[in-house]
Amino acid sequence: MTTPPEAKRLDVGDKAPDFTLTNDKGETTSLADFTGQRVVVYFYPRANTPGCTKEACDFRDSLAQLNSAGIAVVGISPDKVEALAKFRDEHELNFPLLSDPDKEVMEAYGAFGEKKNYGKVVQGVIRSTFLVEPDGTIGLAKYNVRATGHVARIIKDLEATNS
């Protein structure tokens, strides 16, 4: 039995993998849409689950602060567009949610692969967050993040990189 290769991880300074995915409104959104600005791209396992809802609502509640620092936010999960629209509406989310059902973008960012779930090693979405700089490079890469308090930690990290 062979072990699947470990997910490729991105580091600060790496070129951010480009993507074009369908958003929660059924329209396409690309990383190129954010050229020239900073954007937080975060990956989460599933809409309307406790951890993912907590994380999304934290981004929602912090969006004005992030936007005032010139940072946009995009969330990506393997959910279908209809599930993303429901998630957006139920929680009044104010940033785009993108559908990556084939997990190709997740794999390109190293946000899909082996992880531990209740002590078992499984293949799945690795909760991860990246800051893509205006030049298209990775400015921050966080893997295996905890949903609770994550956005506050990201803001603190961003403030530290700006000082």
> What is the pTM assigned to this prediction?
0.91
Rounded CA separation 23/27 (Å): 5
Residues near 138 by Cβ (< 8 Å), separated by ≥ 6?
10, 11, 12, 13, 14, 15, 16, 130, 131, 132
- Identity of the residue numbered 35: T
Q: Tell me which of 52, 71, 93, 147 is the catalytic residue.
A: 52
What's the average model confidence in pLDDT over 70-90? 97
Q: Domains of the chain by range and CATH?
A: 37-162 (3.40.30.10)
- Looking at residue 64, its pLDDT comes to 95
Please report the pLDDT score of residue 6 as a whole number.
53
| 86 residue type, one letter | K
Instruction: Evaluate if residue 1 carries a pLDDT over 50.
Output: no
Catalytic annotation present for 57: no
Q: How far apart are the first and last CA of the chain?
A: 49
pLDDT at 89 over 50: yes
